[in-house]
Chain A
Amino acid sequence: MTSHRIAPPAGKTINFTFDGKSYAGVEGDTLASALLANGVRIMGRSFKYHRPRGPWSAWVDDPNAIMTVRKDGIELPNCPATTTYLEDGMEARAVNAWPSAAFDIKGGLDLFHRWLGAGFYYKTFMWPDWHLFEPAIRKMAGLGHVTGDVLEDYSADQLHDRCDVLVIGGGPAGLTAARIASEAGQDVCLVEDHKALGGGARLSDAIEGMDPDAWVAAEAKAIAQAGGRILTHATAFGIYDHQMVAIIEHGPFGTAPRLRRMRAGRIILATGALDRPITFANNDRPGIMSVTGACTYLAQHNVLVGRHIALVSNNSLAKSAEPMLAKAGAHITHVEPAFGPMEALGGKRLRGLKQNNGTRPVDTILASGGQTPLIHLWRHAGGKLDWCDTRQAFLPSTSPMNMVAVGAANGSFDMDLALSEARAAGRGEARPQGSDEPCRYHLTPLWPSPGSKGRQWIDFQHDVTLKDIELAARENYVSVEHLKRYTTLGMASDQGKTSNMAGLAAMATLQGKPIPEVGTTTFRPPFVPVPIEIYHGHHKGQHWHPVKRLALETEHRAAGAALGEYGGWLRPAWYGEGGIAARVPEEVKAARDHVGLFDASPLGKIEVMGPDAEEFVNFIYYNTIKTLKPGRIRYGFMLSEGGIVYDDGVIARVDANRFIISCSSSHVDGVRTHLEAWRQDGNDPDRIFIHDTTQHWATLTVTGPKARDVLGTLGITAEISKEALPHMSFLETTWQNTPLRIARVSFSGDLSFELSIRRSKARELWQVLCDAGASPIGLEAMAVMRAEKGYIMIGKDTDGETMPHDLGFTIPREKKSTAFVGDRSLHMDVANDPARKQLVGLAVPSGAPMLPIGAHVVTGDAKRKSLGYVTSSYESPTLRTAIAIGLVERGHARMGDTVTVWNQGETREAVITSLVFFDPDGERLHA
């Protein structure tokens, strides 16, 4: 075996399989380290060419070893082998290979690479139609497959937290900063994404004169003793407004991770740096790894990744890795990349490294093209970057508020410098960002060389090669953002951690510009892939956007209600068996012939009180309200400032200083906010107060010719005769010693009473009304009845341009003398356009089917220009014909005209009529 474990495993043995073969690892292993310990190198296939791949690194920057893992019946796709800790019984499979990563049937695709370069899809599948190819290509796209299994109890915990100082990264710099800050009495939280603290500490011989393990343990102990918190196996993956840091905390495999939203007073970024790959021919072969990755496998897992190793590096840090690797038994050959073009030899098994005319027979190539600080979170927070020529890297410069970067994340690759920065940050000292201290770390610039021979990989997972970058440049995709999208550079699951620097450096060379002038792509959260589950947690299924529930839901269910969501409330659509087509006509008939009982509880009950209440509602409403007498009700519109109808409803006046607004059921929250906004804008908020009491009340509408008889059984003393309680009036009384409001308003067009009683008494009232003979009717029956009468539903029969005069309400616009919301807009040119769409009735010949909702009224010529559309359409059980309402250009002037109605290729005829199909004289309404 090339890669192997150099010392007998110390921990518990863990059994697992990979691509169907059984292996053993030890506790603390990742899938990748355990496979390397077993001599397995090929752990995946690249996305496009299905090239065999081994891990490039040992942690989040690996783009190659991606696996579907199953354990105890739970299967999760796209688990990075380098960050997935090994558990007993795991069954892992490479995601983009069949039957196995070692023998992938699609491996032959690589032979066609000349025809599959960047932009291949865009150029090839355009003719005759992209949609012909799309299904097959979509099937091939992406990595991994989500199973149809539902994971029971896979629900992410979400919690909010806060601390004075959040230290991100548990390496030497992070530990030092956290210790200093916690010992200074700060509430400190340290986040480390590995299970074990230490980061790069174990790559050093000693820290502050101590053995690295002992030093890490001592620092952790000191932090804990000072009251600091340490979160391990937790990754800070995003920084949002006001220092909100999103942290994902992992548990055992198969359990949903936790999302911790940490509000941090100060943030110390100690996230370290990554090795950059070197771009040379066949640099993607299994066995070519980062120097840091190889050292990490050795230091953390006792795994030596090769026996005969070529160490290819342009920097001092990587070269210092030699003693550690040699001590473990590897034969190291230094290769200076500047001496000439290189080419890796071999396929699945690496045979050597060729440079100029010489070949070094090695089984492993460790590469480091320099250190790239991990500044993703810095950029999430809005921190600036500066290019450092010495380090050939972007380093943090202007700091986001209350944030500091230390250690390798700040370009301080020397341990003593990193610790010194960390101490200062822990003490809260301000320092200029970006390390300009002299450092021992040095390197020779080394970037891709466009025009050089061989296939040289820039983005390993997505198979973006140097030639693809050259092609993109030739085709003028020179902006890095365009380059990224054209080639998919940096769009792999590592999100460019390995590829972005090489890609933009190649583009800089191709354009003859310095690297900083080319710039970087945008860094966006999440820093590492996270399950969507953590974003919704509890908020899913019926809890995603919970509906408001009626006090009478249990009664409705018992009565066989079909419930549906209407404007945020769960409401009865109809009652009983047979479906909407059978039940709605029955319910309409019951209400028209006898009496119906409708749960109207969601209707708004917003009280406006105060000495300026009258002026305020007169200002809020399009209609004149100040002339409304106590005990009376008026129908009216609220408009937006643009003069558009926002809500309709009735307003009741209780007394001189008190009004009750009954706005549309789905608009209550919006209307309350609308009222509060105007209360505080242009009005005296100390003289107007708005109480939304909607949910205190249940409202039951008793409607039909026998409605008064039903009310008569309640035994209330108040007079409800036609004379004492005429249409559009209300009274307050009591029933069973409970306040009861009776409003004589109607949405059905028949004699109706809206009874409002406190929610806790709704059941008794409902039962008494049912016992008195009222039949429950649902919202669908009410919708039919209101359309028969020509009553509108805002948002259904109006659109974002409808003004009140389009609905036939013209008088306030012409005559109202006081200011009101939307007034000015009703006199603009657009409001006076004679071609405005106006709401009209649309009648069809007797026996004809109903017009489809959304069907267009069109000109009769061949062009069929739209003149408007059908907004509501029903079969009227009362009139025994189909009825419809629509918005039609110049509709009011076209009364009696026959118009063409077009829908999905079919044309029909309809006659423009009045909106009122039923009881046009209002005899039933005023009964």
Chain B
Amino acid sequence: MRDDSQRWAPPRDRVVEVTASGIAIRSFDIARLTMISGTRALTATQLAIADWPNTVEGDSYAISLRRDRILEVNGPARPDGWDADQNLAICDVTDAYTQVEITGPAALSLLNRGTELDPNTPSRSAARLLFGLGVFLYRHGHFDTYRIHAGSAQDEALWHALTDAAKHLT
């Protein structure tokens, strides 16, 4: 085994926002993320549900991941485990994801560097591959503001993919 420390740049030093031509890319934290699965998961939340290409508003909402799974963002506190009354599997996954928000007229163009994204093709799931990373992607607050959740261990990978792609925006 060799020492490969130099092959990988150390994690970035608290850079949370960059701006480029027509966009701003911002890292941000979320107080609570709750993964909820069950046959009635989509109706188990009181929160507005984000899917594609709809725009979701506010601080608290849920993201549709698949027909039996949502991710509540800043939702009510729920105990982890199997909720036998509602037949729901529940886990706090707040630290499992890293969040990035991209806003500006060039945001869609930036995202199209990493995925095939068509606002005219709806999807019930926000799950996508972006630059080869499994993410949840949806519009938030405004049609040219997008939020991305990626695995927290891939925070560096997502950040560099987005900021590298932003260099190509003109």
Residues of A within 8 A of B (CB): 155, 157-162, 258, 261, 263, 538-539, 542-543, 546-551, 553-554, 557, 561-565, 569-570, 573, 579-580, 607, 609-611, 613, 654-655, 657-658, 685-686, 689-691, 693-697, 758-760, 780
Contacts and interface: CB of A to CB of B under 8 A. Distances in A.
Given A610-B82, A686-B39, A696-B93, A557 B10 contact: yes
Contacts of A579: 3
B95 A696 contact: yes
B1 interface: yes
Interface in B1-35: 1-5, 7-11, 35
A400 to B, nearest CB: 20
Given A542-B8, A609-B81, A694-B96, A157 B113 contact: yes
Question: Which range holds the interface residue count of chain B?
Answer: 35 or more
A689 B37 contact: yes
A569 B7 CA distance: 13
A161 B105 CA distance: 16
Choose among A155, A157, A613 the residue with the greatest number of B CB atoms under 10 Å from its CB: A157
Given A159-B113, A548-B151, A759-B152, A691 B1 contact: no
Contacts of A561: 5
19 contacts: A159-B112, A159-B168, A160-B116, A160-B117, A538-B161, A548-B153, A553-B11, A562-B1, A563-B4, A564-B3, A565-B4, A607-B91, A610-B82, A611-B84, A654-B81, A655-B81, A691-B37, A695-B97, A696-B94
Nearest to A562: B3
B161 A569 contact: no
A546 B114 CA distance: 15
Given A543-B161, A759-B95, A263 B68 contact: no
B144 interface: no
A390 to B, nearest CB: 42
Interface string B100-117: 000000000100110111
A542 B167 CA distance: 18
Given A561-B5, A564-B3, 12 more contacts: A161-B112, A543-B161, A549-B154, A573-B1, A607-B89, A611-B82, A686-B39, A686-B68, A689-B38, A689-B69, A696-B152, A759-B96
A569 B96 CA distance: 15
A108 B107 CA distance: 60
B105 to A, nearest CB: 16
Contact of B156 (A155, A549, A573): A549
Interface of B: 1-5, 7-11, 35, 37-39, 68-69, 81-82, 84, 87, 89, 91-97, 109, 112-113, 115-118, 131-133, 151-157, 160-161, 164-165, 167-168
A539 B132 CA distance: 9
B116 A263 contact: yes
A219 to B, nearest CB: 27
A543 B164 contact: yes
A780 B131 CA distance: 32
A746 to B, nearest CB: 23
A695 B116 contact: no
Contact of B131 (A538, A655, A696, A759): A538
B10 A542 contact: no
Contacts of B81: 609, 654-655, 657-658
A160 B112 contact: yes
A543 B163 CA distance: 12
Contacts of B132: 539
A768 B122 CA distance: 49
Nearest to B155: A549
Contact of A155 (B9, B97, B154, B164): B164
A828 B113 CA distance: 50
Contacts of B92: 696, 758
A548 B154 CA distance: 5
B37 to A, nearest CB: 4
Contact of A695 (B4, B9, B151, B165): B151
A759 B11 CA distance: 15
A159 B109 contact: yes
Contacts of A160: 112-113, 115-117
Nearest to A656: B82
Contacts of A686: 39, 68
Contacts of B160: 538, 543, 546
Given A613-B82, A693-B93, A550 B1 contact: no
B154 A546 contact: yes
Contacts of B156: 546, 549
Contacts of A610: 82, 87, 89
A765 to B, nearest CB: 13
Contacts of A547: 8
Choose among A158, A561, A689 the residue with the greatest number of B CB atoms under 10 Å from its CB: A689
Nearest to A260: B112
Nearest to A601: B153
Which 6 residue pairs spanning A and B have beta carbons closest together?
A546-B157, A562-B3, A548-B153, A696-B96, A689-B89, A157-B168
